[in-house]
Amino acid sequence: MNMKIFVISFILMLSAGFTLNAQDKKGLKSDKETVVFTVSMTCENCQKRIEKNIAFEKGVTDMKVNLDDKTVTIEFKNSQTTVDKLKAAIEKLGYEVAVKTDKKIEAKK
Bridge partners, 38 (sequence order): 71, 98
Say what the pLDDT of residue 109 is.
43
How far, CA to CA in Å, does 108 sit from each of 33, 72, 83?
9, 18, 18
What digits encode the pLDDT tens for the residues 6-28? Answer: 778 778 776 776 665 555 455 55
Say what the pLDDT of residue 19 is.
62
What digits encode the pLDDT tens for the residues 38-96? Answer: 999 999 999 999 999 999 999 999 999 999 999 999 999 999 999 999 999 999 999 99
Which domains occur in the chain, in start order? 30-99 (3.30.70.100)
Model-level pTM? 0.66
